[in-house]
């Protein structure tokens, strides 16, 4: 089954989808995107993903081109036209095609694109052993809360991790924890989960919200507050979260073991809560 994508109103094979080179997404990275995980053909936290997508449009002063009902229909169509029970739905809107000029063009149609790929959640071995991360300075712009396709900073930073054989960077700005190149970061200190607040310096992760909701509902001690670099470096546990990574333990930071060097007890509890929650939600959706 070949991959079927959506482009500006039509479904087509991925290899047939074409965008003009003057698209502002290509020229300037002038667009926003969203990634929605799909389990057993059901989108997970759809309303929350669409709410964030709408906020991304507002943040870059782009009219929200489809209604929530139309996005939902589009996502369902992509799911049914593509193979796999578990998928990752990618939606992107750019400011469209126009003569190259930084200021916004008048009266252009946005480019609307959607695709699906197979969702591969972390293998059991990765969950059980954790992953390596390295620390970097967060030199990205000051609108990291916008899920923008302008991801050069994130790509450069992720490559620093890849070059070091690590899966993610843990970033600091002014000696405070921000996030990873494509994930939010939590730490555990003396049994309390610490999460940096949702400011302009981090992407408001959908998984981040789920983790904090689960902590709240299950009596896991947690605090949302600024986390210093020193606290990260002396943390008992470090986690990264995202729609595709779910919750993963970071077991080495800059080559040194985090805590015992194995995924910690609080991580194990949260990972289990997350899996149980996913199952419950999917059963309700079925
Ligand atoms: N931060 C960044 C920079 C990201 O790219 C992502 C992944 N979209 C996240 C955090 C996690 O967000 P979510 O849980 O919604 O996948």
Tens digit of each residue's pLDDT (9 = 90 or more) over 193-248: 999 999 999 999 999 999 999 999 999 999 999 999 999 999 999 999 999 999 99
Q: Which of 99, 106, 147, 198 is catalytic?
A: 147
Whether residue 56 has its Cβ less than 6 Å from ligand 1: no
Whether 25 and 47 share a structural domain? yes
Q: What's the N-to-C CA distance of the chain in angstroms? A: 24
Catalytic residue flag (residue 143): no
- pLDDT, residue 17, reads 98
Q: Which structural domain range is residue 98 located in?
A: 4-118
Rounded to an integer, the average pLDDT of 137-156 is 98
Whether 138 and 272 share a structural domain? yes
Q: Which of 59, 87, 118 is the last residue of a domain?
A: 118
Whether 130 and 267 share a structural domain? yes
Whichever domain contains 175, its CATH number is 3.20.10.10
Whether 38 and 144 share a structural domain? no
Tens digit of each residue's pLDDT (9 = 90 or more) over 86-103: 999 999 999 999 999 999
Whether 12 and 84 share a structural domain? yes
Whether 110 and 166 share a structural domain? no
Whether 13 and 144 share a structural domain? no
For 44, 82, 83, 279, 281, the CA distances from 286, given in Å and listed in that order, are 12, 18, 18, 10, 9
Tens digit of each residue's pLDDT (9 = 90 or more) over 15-28: 999 999 999 999 99
Residue with CA at minimum distance from ligand 1 atom 1: 183
Burial 66-78 (b: 16+ CB within 10 A, else e): beeeebeebbbeb
What's the total number of domains in the chain? 2
Whether 88 and 197 share a structural domain? no
Whether residue 243 has its Cβ less than 6 Å from ligand 1: yes
Residue 145 is encoded by which pair of tokens? Answer: 């809360």
Whether residue 207 has its Cβ less than 6 Å from ligand 1: yes
Q: Which of 118, 145, 173 is the last residue of a domain?
A: 118
Whether 157 and 96 share a structural domain? no
CB 118 within 8 A of CB 87: yes
For 89, 213, 236, 269, 276, the CA distances from 273, given in Å and listed in that order, are 24, 10, 20, 6, 5
User: Across all residues in the chain, what is the average pLDDT?
Assistant: 97
For 48, 50, 63, 185, the CA distances from 55, given in Å and listed in that order, are 11, 9, 10, 22
- pLDDT, residue 2, reads 75
- pLDDT, residue 171, reads 98
Give the integer Cα–Cα distance in Å for 254 and 239.
Answer: 15
Share of the chain above pLDDT 90, in %: 98
CB 118 within 8 A of CB 85: no
Whether 135 and 204 share a structural domain? yes
Rounded to an integer, the average pLDDT of 254-262 is 98
- pLDDT, residue 1, reads 59
Q: Which of 84, 118, 152 is the last residue of a domain?
A: 118
User: Does residue 286 have a pLDDT over 90?
Assistant: no
Q: Which residue, chain included where needed, has tokens 């003569």?
A: 99
- pLDDT, residue 30, reads 98
Exposure on the CB side of residue 160, measured as CA atoms within 13 A: 18
Whether 103 and 32 share a structural domain? yes
Whichever domain contains 13, its CATH number is 3.30.470.10
For strands 237-242 and 246-253, give the pairing: antiparallel
Residue 203 CA, ligand 1 centroid: distance in Å: 6
Residue 141 CA, ligand 1 centroid: distance in Å: 16
Q: How many CB atoms lie within 10 A of CB 197?
A: 11
At 55, is the pLDDT very low, low, confident or very high (cuts 50, 70, 90)? Answer: very high
Burial 128-162 (b: 16+ CB within 10 A, else e): eebbbbbbbebebeeebbbbbbbbeebeebbeebe
Whether 130 and 67 share a structural domain? no
Residue 18 is encoded by which pair of tokens? Answer: 């074409």
Whether residue 188 has its Cβ less than 6 Å from ligand 1: no
- pLDDT, residue 285, reads 87
């Amino acid at each position: 089954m070949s991959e079927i994508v959506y482009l500006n109103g039509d479904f087509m094979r991925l290899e047939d989808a074409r965008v003009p080179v003057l698209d502002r997404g290509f020229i300037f990275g002038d667009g926003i995107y969203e990634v929605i995980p799909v389990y057993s053909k059901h989108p997970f936290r759809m309303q929350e993903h669409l709410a964030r997508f709408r906020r991304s449009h507002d943040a870059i002063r782009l009219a929200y081109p489809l209604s929530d009902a139309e996005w939902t229909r589009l996502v369902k169509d992509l799911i049914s036209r593509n193979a796999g029970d578990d998928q990752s739905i990618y939606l992107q809107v750019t400011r469209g095609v126009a003569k190259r000029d930084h200021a916004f063009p008048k009266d252009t149609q946005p480019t609307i694109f959607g695709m699906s790929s197979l969702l591969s959640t972390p293998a059991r071995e990765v969950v059980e052993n954790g992953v390596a991360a390295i620390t970097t300075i967060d030199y990205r712009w000051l609108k990291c809360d916008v899920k923008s396709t302008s991801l050069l900073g994130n790509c450069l930073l992720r490559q620093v991790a890849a070059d070091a054989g690590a899966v993610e960077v843990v970033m600091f700005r002014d000696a405070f924890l921000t996030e990873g190149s494509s994930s939010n970061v939590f730490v555990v200190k003396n049994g309390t989960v610490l999460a940096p607040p949702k400011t302009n310096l981090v992407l408001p992760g959908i998984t981040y919200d789920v983790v904090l909701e689960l902590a709240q509902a299950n009596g896991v001690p947690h605090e949302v507050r600024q986390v210093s670099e020193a606290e990260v470096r002396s943390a008992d546990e470090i986690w990264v979260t995202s729609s595709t990574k779910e919750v993963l333990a970071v077991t080495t930071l800059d080559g040194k073991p985090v805590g015992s060097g194995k995924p910690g007890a609080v991580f194990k509890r949260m990972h289990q809560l997350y899996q149980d929650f996913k199952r419950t939600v999917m059963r309700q959706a079925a």
